[in-house]
Chains A and B, each alone.
Chain A
Amino acid sequence: MMAVEVLQTVSIITGISVFLAALLTLAERFLLNYGTCKITINEDQVLEVKGGNHLLGSLIQNNIFIPSACGGRGSCGLCKVKVISGGGPLLPTETPYLTNEEQEDNVRLSCQVKVREDLVIQIPEELFSIREYATVVEKIEDLTHDIKALYLRLPEGEEVKFKAGQYVQIKAPQYGKSTEEVYRAYSIASSPSQHDCIQLIIRKVPEGICTTYVFDYLKEGDTLHINGPYGDFYLRESEREIICIAGGSGLAPIKSILHQIEEEGIQRKTSFFFGCVGKRDLYYVDEMKAFEDKLPNFRFIPALSGAAEGDDWTGETGLITEVVDRHVTDGSNVEAYLCGSPGMIDACIRVLLSKGVAEENIYYDKF
């Protein structure tokens, strides 16, 4: 008797569910079938995708990565593309993220636009170079007690094109106690002319999921997935004097920019202020001195804020802001590139502004 009752209950609930599921599946099959749609990108590339999906997902399937932090939920507003024809009217879910000019310019959030017909869209050229790479860890090098350099070799025949100062994201897979994949951004430290192998500089964050992975789990010869390049921190073309300020692992993008200055023969006057606590935190001093020899207009100014006794230090001391304050007199013709912790950058910006550096000429990468 009991069994019959259970069976009956289960079958009725199953019956209702099956009926509704069948109804929805049929509806999906016949109602949402839009056939194959063509997406024309920047007037030259044509993709053929299955209709009915969101534009962002359709592009990712074709290895075109539009930056998106929220994963297509319409809450970050990063995945903007220009939709010239098709795509339907602007949705209320998009308007909060678009300015009036963007709306008039047909800019849309690609995670909200559905591909139901042929589309013509425009994507900034540099996004084409954003890709995922399965790199091999060629070498892990200790730079200081808590900073390592990572050399990543790209797969045979692939190359990454980036601007000096840009960053990539590395993917830390599940390991040990960490139960999910995480992505963390690191600036590329190697020369932008080197496309087959890149160098990253990583400082250990206590309890950091990704840095713990890199420091304690990752071995030479392992595969590491990265994607990129991203970012608008790169050397601007002008005739202004260049001031770079970095702390700790913030040296990475500056080093890449210095490679670029050397290789392109840029003659602009350049100073690089590098702030560390003690002598044991200092690294790449010889490399920077080598730049000084090769570049007549380049000065490297390392500074220790807490030199320990016995550090045998004759260079600059004090907080990096004080050092910059002492060295820079007239900032009216200066372009500044800062990379470091938010606190350091905010303090440096205040100093630079007081020296007369124009706010729009200060570029920074906070981490």
Chain B
Amino acid sequence: MEISPFVIFFASIFTSNVLLTNFLGMCSYLSISRDLKSSLGLGQAVIFVMTATTVLNYLVYHYILVPYELEYLMYIVFIIVIAAFVQLVEMVLERFLPNLYYTLGIFLPLITVNCAILGVALFMVIREYNLLQSLAYGAGGGIGWTLAILALAGIRQKVDETRLPKGLQGAGFAMIVTGIMALAFIGFSGIISIS
């Protein structure tokens, strides 16, 4: 049965959140989640890059790799496409939209190596999404990732003002909070099937 792109869009934000149910993209999630402002900047960059590269990779996969039966090369090709795209976007922003570059652009190099972006592209192939579904999945995945990092940043900002035992400060606390949040999100994962 064909799943509606809308279903995929909402499911990838909430019930199949790429960060909280697949635990992808953890490095920048843990390191940039100290305050809400930079989390939002990073999140916006992820939304944009994830949406665009998922569509790009869809086109590359279906119009170049599949016709020549080169599907096994998708890992390499996806990574190259993502890296080149991120760099190009960074240059364009730096030149033409300096304000946007300062709020969002400086996070772009971090995203080149974000596994959530590659993960979404690979899921798109494994789950055999069509173009519209891929677009919805990319956008939803990005928004879901942003939601998760914003939630963590909010909690961390609050908790930074309280006194934690030394062993729990920083990453330790972030991992525990992420685990608890993931429990909540995974609890709903059976409601909608997206693959």
Contacts and interface: CB of A to CB of B under 8 A. Distances in A.
Interface string B65-83: 0001010010011001100
B102 A17 contact: no
A70 interface: no
Interface string A83-102: 00000110111000000000
B102 A89 contact: yes
A24 B84 contact: yes
A89 B104 CA distance: 13
Interface stretch (A6-14, A118-126, A223-231): A6-14
Given A27-B91, A31-B92, A32-B94, A9 B81 contact: no
A24 B64 CA distance: 20
Interface in A1-59: 8-9, 12-13, 16-17, 20-21, 23-24, 27-28, 31-32
A82 B95 CA distance: 24
B43 interface: no
Nearest to A15: B64
Given A16-B64, A92-B38, A24 B77 contact: no
Given A24-B84, A32-B94, A92-B38, A16 B68 contact: no
Contacts of B70: 9, 12-13
B101 to A, nearest CB: 9
A16 B80 contact: yes
A118 to B, nearest CB: 16
Interface centre among A8, A23, A88, A92 (most CB of B within 10 A): A92
B130 interface: no
Nearest to B89: A27
Contact of B68 (A12, A24, A31): A12
A13 B68 contact: no
Interface size class of B (residues with CB under 8 A): 20 to 34
Contacts of A32: 91, 94-95
Contacts of A12: 64, 68, 70
B73 A24 contact: no
A38 B87 CA distance: 27
Contact of B102 (A8, A21, A23, A91): A91
A92 B91 contact: no
A73 to B, nearest CB: 11
Interface in B34-64: 37-38, 41, 60, 64
Contact of B73 (A9, A21, A27, A93): A9
A30 to B, nearest CB: 9
B91 A93 contact: no
Contact of B87 (A24, A88, A93): A24
B77 A13 contact: yes
B187 interface: no
A225 B180 CA distance: 55
Interface string B86-121: 011001101100100010001000000000000000
B92 A20 contact: no
Contacts of A13: 70, 73, 76-77
Interface string A115-150: 000000000000000000000000000000000000
Nearest to A96: B34
Nearest to B99: A89
A18 to B, nearest CB: 11
8 contacts: A9-B73, A12-B70, A21-B84, A24-B91, A27-B87, A31-B94, A88-B98, A92-B38
Given A16-B64, A20-B84, 5 more contacts: A23-B84, A24-B87, A28-B91, A31-B95, A92-B106
